[in-house]
A and B are shown apart, each in its own frame.
Chain A
């Protein structure tokens, strides 16, 4: 087969063995490093810093108030990716915290305990360390159960740092209940919850919210999401111009930088790159044999090279469910008109989380996660499903098998692979075994395709 001809603007060779990754994804590492560096500088400059979680519906609020976010899950992921999480996990373990708690939380708690004990960053902290916060914005969001307990536990080491807990509720899926009938109650609750957050931040940091600026930040975030949605749509092309290996990097601006010009510019550049690659049929691999969906689970951050292994077999991931929960354009959510930015954020939040509910209710036996996977299979021309059971992540762990079984029952047999490891804890990972499973999965895909 003739080798693809790649333009100079989007070179073949990237960093870290990334052969056909996007140029945009290569910018992510430096962006995250700079963000972490600037949060460490912010601490030195006594700026307003908050511990934050992704997908908690407060991104625009903190950006509009010039509060520097420290994304604690992100920092644990960085430690994992740099294969430098074990020493923090061991610290947490010596505090008698169970190894089977969320390892993001364990890594973060181990780090905090050490930093507070030393009065400075632990030695050789990855990318300068995790800055000490002025407040911690936890979440009782049903997405992820350890989030409110994490910061409560962190208060053991930094008792002077107050917490505001954002409930972040949304209606649970019930087959026989139309969520539209009850979402108004949730919207009222969330609006007031966010109003309480603004008040808390105003009081703690002695500054007032500029409501016009909040609206502008919301508009910028919505425009950024629209670009991200466009990127996801472009990935439907055959061959796909970008896969999940890259998406696990390219989610960073969506998850950690929403409401910033930097995030907008990132997705604009990524969109332009993908448009070019689609137009010129430049794929992730030279010969795309199998198209897969990453249908559940966070990746092992220390083993992202497993995606390269899939690529070496001609397998790509044009789409994934992970980190896509909030990537729906506000324009297609049919949001009620309002002059209150907090009410707008509340409705947008609910409609994004319930995005698949109506479709799921139309298909007997379906439910939102299953419906999403079925839609991805059809829209992205998918041959197989891959999931990752990260042992310490209950959010993603629970229900994966059920989803696969249900999908088979109401839709059709699709070859599937469940990888087993963790997000941060490298001791759970065996590269040889993982790759043996991938080999066997590729054999299965081949057998099914050649039927």
Chain B
């Protein structure tokens, strides 16, 4: 430990992630982002501090990211997910050139060169191509979301899911079930459909190795498998893909503080109080 700690808070659409880092990961907490939880980033932060056995005063700088980044009243700075995911991915996979982040309600492709973002694409308008697609269809199939990836790998004859809309895809799934199509083949078809949509979007960028998969979608072995098939080569999944954005946020905070220190200046910090967000009250 260096004695300087940096926190990254990533408020995603479905999960809230907090990390505390020095040069390495010191502590991390992952919790759900429900309507009631959005304003409770402070509690997740408290939990992370307890795990790290640190007081909030000991945190040098706090960076918030994710779609809910503006709801973190104790953050010193807000930085977009694109920058944070890129920084986190490069930290975990130094040779990263393309980052594909598959989140709960959006999907991003990021092109990286010499450690910096040079281009990006986002899908934030349609559930197809995001974790939400699998959530909805898993519910329709009566399968636990966590089991979907494993199940897809058991398929023998993957079916084509032609609907491009999540709602209609769920209806198509029911129709296939009633035709007696094996569950694994349907689930594999769903994974192929989502991988196709993600690949179609990310192809707008120049896809170069290493391709790093992050976000909750990267924890799904079936989706990783399907995406690798679309890419035509293996992708890299970091040890904890869900923490990429939060780690990137903490690291960017560290970069900024170090840069300021080198130039003999200091960055403005918020008072170290773990208040709830007031946006929803």
Q: Which residues of A contact B (CB under 8 A)?
A: 401, 404-405, 408, 413, 415-416, 418, 420, 430, 432-433, 436-437, 439-441, 443-444, 447-448, 450-451
Complex: A443 Cα to B124 Cα, angstroms: 18
Q: For B119, give its contact among A415, A432, A433, A439 (CB under 8 Å).
A: A415
**Pair B119/A447 contact, Cβ less than 8 Å:** no
On whether A447 and B117 interact (CB within 8 A), knowing A408-B206, A430-B124, A433-B125, the answer reads yes
**Pair B119/A440 contact, Cβ less than 8 Å:** no
What are the interface flags for B78-97 relative to A under an 8 Å C-beta threshold, 1 for contact and 0 otherwise? Answer: 01111100000000000000
On whether A444 and B82 interact (CB within 8 A), knowing A401-B204, A408-B206, the answer reads yes
**Pair A440/B124 contact, Cβ less than 8 Å:** no
Is residue B168 within 8 Å, beta carbon to beta carbon, of the partner chain?
no
On whether A448 and B118 interact (CB within 8 A), knowing A430-B124, A440-B82, A440-B83, the answer reads yes
**Pair A444/B118 contact, Cβ less than 8 Å:** yes
Complex: A430 Cα to B117 Cα, angstroms: 24
From residue A100, how far is it (CB to closest CB) to chain B in Å? 13
**Pair B80/A443 contact, Cβ less than 8 Å:** yes
Query: 9 other contacts beyond A416-B119, A430-B124, A444-B83, with CB at 8 A cut-off?
Result: A404-B204, A415-B119, A418-B204, A430-B125, A433-B125, A441-B120, A443-B80, A444-B120, A447-B116
From residue A411, how far is it (CB to closest CB) to chain B in Å? 14
Find chain B residues with CB under 8 A from A450 CB.
116
**Pair B81/A440 contact, Cβ less than 8 Å:** yes
Q: Which residues of B contact A (CB under 8 A)?
A: 67, 79-83, 113-114, 116-122, 124-125, 204, 206
**Pair A436/B206 contact, Cβ less than 8 Å:** no
Q: For A444, give its contact among B119, B124, B206 (CB under 8 Å).
A: B119
From residue A384, how far is it (CB to closest CB) to chain B in Å? 10
Complex: A20 Cα to B54 Cα, angstroms: 48
Complex: A273 Cα to B54 Cα, angstroms: 59
Find chain B residues with CB under 8 A from A405 CB.
204
**Pair B125/A420 contact, Cβ less than 8 Å:** yes
Interface of A is mostly: helix
**Pair B118/A447 contact, Cβ less than 8 Å:** yes
Find chain A residues with CB under 8 A from B67 CB.
432, 436
Complex: A433 Cα to B108 Cα, angstroms: 13
Q: For B114, give its contact among A408, A432, A444, A451 (CB under 8 Å).
A: A451
Complex: A450 Cα to B117 Cα, angstroms: 11
Find chain B residues with CB under 8 A from A444 CB.
82-83, 117-120
Find chain A residues with CB under 8 A from B204 CB.
401, 404-405, 418
On whether A415 and B118 interact (CB within 8 A), knowing A436-B67, A437-B124, the answer reads yes
Residue of B nearest to A434 (CB): B124
**Pair A443/B79 contact, Cβ less than 8 Å:** yes
**Pair B81/A413 contact, Cβ less than 8 Å:** no
Closest 6 CB pairs between A and B?
Answer: A440-B82, A447-B116, A440-B80, A433-B124, A443-B83, A439-B80
Find chain A residues with CB under 8 A from B79 CB.
443
Residue of B nearest to A428 (CB): B125
From residue B128, how far is it (CB to closest CB) to chain A in Å? 14
Q: List 16 A-B contacts (CB under 8 A).
A: A405-B204, A413-B118, A413-B119, A415-B118, A430-B125, A433-B122, A433-B124, A433-B125, A436-B80, A439-B80, A440-B81, A443-B82, A443-B83, A444-B82, A447-B116, A451-B116
Complex: A103 Cα to B113 Cα, angstroms: 40
Find chain B residues with CB under 8 A from A413 CB.
113, 118-119
From residue B228, how far is it (CB to closest CB) to chain A in Å? 23
Q: For B117, give its contact among A404, A420, A443 (CB under 8 Å).
A: A443
Residue of B nearest to A430 (CB): B125
